A and B are shown apart, each in its own frame.
Chain A
Amino acid sequence: MKSKYIACIFFILLVIFSIYSYAETKEAQSAVSTTQESGDTMVELLARLINGEARGESYLGQVAVGAVIMNRVKSPLFPNTIAGVIYQKGQFSSIQDGQFNVSIEEGSTVYNAAQDAMNGVDPTNGALYFYNPSKTKSKYLFSLTTVTTIGKHVFARAE
């Protein structure tokens, strides 16, 4: 009778672990499949950030997010590369919460928006910051001079 119990426990353990390990491999797979090959890695990187931060926004709002990244690359205060700016510690919520890895939907405008931003289009008039006022508590961000508001995002400059 006792051995039956132990067998039972082992069986349940086995089932739970196989579910766990399946979930793990699944997660690893999904992380890989979003990294699709594209002609230009820089456009791809920028498009993914726009997708993570602003896919629900208007086209203007999407270009604006891309423009902030490009303005940072050009600014002496921030890293010199697009990857450097995007992955700078604690700068973009989509990097931290995994939204950056969400795959880009068919027919999405984020690639066009990324390309426009790279070509120098800038609806933010030189902004270096953007934030969603309902989602941030940062005093620093609120202290900045607002340039414009597009959709849910406030675009700002430091004096």
Chain B
Amino acid sequence: MKEKCKKIAVIILIAILIVVGILCIMLYKKYRTQKQLAEDGYNRAMYDFVASVNNVKNELAKLKVSSNDAYNITTIASVFAKSNAAKANLDLLPFSVENIKNVSMFLTQLSDFSYILMRSVLNGDSIDNYKENIDSIYEKITELSNVTEEIYKDLNASNIKWNELEKVGEEKFKNTNLDEETSSASKIGKTFTDYEGIIYDGAFSNHILDLKPQYLNGKDLSNTEVENIVREKMDVESIEFIEEQNGMLPLYVYRIKLKNIDTIKTVYVTKQDGKIYQIISNREVKNKNIDIEKAKEIALEYINSLGVENIKDTYYLTKDNTVTISFAAVQEDVLVYTDLIKVKVALDNGEILGFEANGYIYNHKERNIEYSKSVDEARSTLYGDLKIESERLCIIPTDAKDEVITYEFKGTVGENTFLVYINANTLSQEKIYIVLETEGGMMTI
């Protein structure tokens, strides 16, 4: 009996050993394949990155000697495309984010700069005005190109491994001086983000044109002073001070319970001038008792109650029985798309669930509205088959972080609806958007 037990134990032991052995081999093989796949991906991204940086360098070299504007434009277009490609590939590589910061910033600025340069040259500006910038960028891209080629050579010669790249990046990239003053605007944000489909709130969402909030002009207030302002503007039952926030914009944060409303709201108020900046709250909204038009009225009334007049609704987005409505400022019948306030309304009882005035607070100011061309002149420049549904004057942000007064034409061609913006002074076409009507609201691309 004992003998038999022993034999069974030996059999099981052998079986387990074989299984463990085979599993180990299988897992190791799998690990090798996965590792190889990952490294192939890195290799490809690295190769594309090195090639793109080199391409940018060569195109800029051509730009330095070329004297033909038509040729220049295609060259600048290539710089734009290749700098974007370089950044996209850089982001795929296993460098640590801190180490590639200056490279990433440089490539973004290069992309912005080349785009703006392209437009300037197209509008008749001479490239000679930008020679100094181009020379300085050329120097920096040459330095970057040398560093990347060095890393790539080391990788190829197996002097460094992919998992050591983080350290290599620290040594090589961190000390590469790429600070470039070509477009100081890039510090605010980048011109090109792949937002496709999420610009629900209209064509020009969240364009911050200046680091200094234009709407705030007074002095910094104390917590008690701001709390009193909040009590004045809202039907407060209880208010609790949470913190003073020193991020992009100095804010006071409160947790507030309003009379007759159960939802607790987090309210952000600017330290300077005490303006309501943001309100956040959430609850499940089960029914829909009011329509969008009524919600717009409620939202507008709310904005007015906070002391903001001359504002008009533009776009909206519905989701789970709530609606988020965008409002833009109006001055002398001109819609100012940059000065945005968004209000989220619950469609069961009309409660204000959310409020956000980032665009308004950063961009709103009294504009000098001047234009020389009539709407008829602007209309005559449009594509002939565009069936126009509406037209109006509006101020829109440009890619160069500036703003411009335009005529907005909404029209259709076939099944597609378009928004076309024609400059009201120069009649040049500033922007075209495609409008998509979705279940939730209107989107622009």
Partner of B354, one of A88, A107, A121: A121
Give the complex CA separation of A153 and B109 in angstroms.
31
Partner of A90, one of B88, B96, B268, B356: B96
B1-54 interface (Cβ within 8 A of A): 7, 11-12, 14-15, 18-19, 23
User: Which size class do B's interface residues fall under?
Assistant: 35 or more
Is A60 at the interface (CB under 8 A from chain B)?
A: yes
Is A94 at the interface (CB under 8 A from chain B)?
A: no
Give the complex CA separation of A40 and B320 in angstroms.
14
* Contact of B96 with A59 in the complex, beta carbons under 8 Å: no
* Contact of B18 with A9 in the complex, beta carbons under 8 Å: yes
* Contact of B192 with A80 in the complex, beta carbons under 8 Å: yes
- Contacts A42-B197, A123-B266 known; A75 to B190 CB distance under 8 Å? yes
* Contact of A5 with B249 in the complex, beta carbons under 8 Å: no
Is B313 at the interface (CB under 8 A from chain A)?
A: no
Return chain A residues, CB-CB under 8 Å to B243.
148
Partner of B319, one of A88, A112, A140: A112
Is B232 at the interface (CB under 8 A from chain A)?
A: no
B125-181 interface (Cβ within 8 A of A): none
* Contact of A90 with B18 in the complex, beta carbons under 8 Å: no
Partner of A12, one of B15, B248, B280: B15
Give the complex CA separation of A38 and B353 in angstroms.
24
B166 to chain A: closest CB distance in Å?
Answer: 8
Is A31 at the interface (CB under 8 A from chain B)?
A: no
Interface of B is mostly: mixed
Residue interface bits A7-42, CB-to-B below 8 A is 1, else 0? 011001100110010000000000000000001101
* Contact of A80 with B97 in the complex, beta carbons under 8 Å: no
Is B293 at the interface (CB under 8 A from chain A)?
A: no
Is B307 at the interface (CB under 8 A from chain A)?
A: no
B295 to chain A: closest CB distance in Å?
Answer: 15
Return chain B residues, CB-CB under 8 Å to A73.
193-195
B437 to chain A: closest CB distance in Å?
Answer: 13
- Contacts A78-B97, A125-B245, A148-B245 known; A9 to B439 CB distance under 8 Å? no
Is A95 at the interface (CB under 8 A from chain B)?
A: no
* Contact of A118 with B198 in the complex, beta carbons under 8 Å: yes
Return chain B residues, CB-CB under 8 Å to A20.
23
* Contact of A79 with B88 in the complex, beta carbons under 8 Å: yes
Give the complex CA separation of A12 and B15 in angstroms.
7
B292 to chain A: closest CB distance in Å?
Answer: 16
**Residue of A43, A73, A84, A89 ringed by the most chain B CB atoms within 10 A:** A89
Give the complex CA separation of A63 and B266 in angstroms.
12
Q: Which residue of B lies closest to A83 (CB)?
A: B194
Is A103 at the interface (CB under 8 A from chain B)?
A: no
B58-111 interface (Cβ within 8 A of A): 84, 87-88, 91-98, 101, 104-105, 108-109
A94-132 interface (Cβ within 8 A of B): 107, 109, 111-113, 115-116, 118-127
- Contacts A16-B19, A125-B249 known; A88 to B190 CB distance under 8 Å? no
Partner of B19, one of A13, A60, A79, A127: A13
Is A93 at the interface (CB under 8 A from chain B)?
A: no
* Contact of B11 with A5 in the complex, beta carbons under 8 Å: yes
Q: Which residue of A lies closest to B23 (CB)?
A: A20
User: Would you mind naming 18 contact pairs between A and B with Cβ atoms under 8 Å apart?
Assistant: A39-B439, A42-B196, A43-B198, A59-B280, A73-B194, A73-B195, A76-B190, A78-B97, A80-B84, A80-B88, A84-B194, A88-B97, A112-B320, A116-B282, A123-B278, A127-B247, A148-B243, A148-B247
- Contacts A88-B97, A112-B319 supplied; 8 other A-B pairs, CB < 8 Å: A73-B195, A75-B190, A76-B109, A118-B200, A125-B246, A126-B248, A147-B246, A157-B247
Residues of A within 8 A of B (CB): 5, 8-9, 12-13, 16-17, 20, 39-40, 42-43, 59-60, 63, 73-82, 84, 88-91, 107, 109, 111-113, 115-116, 118-127, 140, 145, 147-148, 157
Q: Which 3 residue pairs of A and B lie closest in terms of their CB atoms, listed nearest first?
A: A125-B247, A126-B248, A76-B108
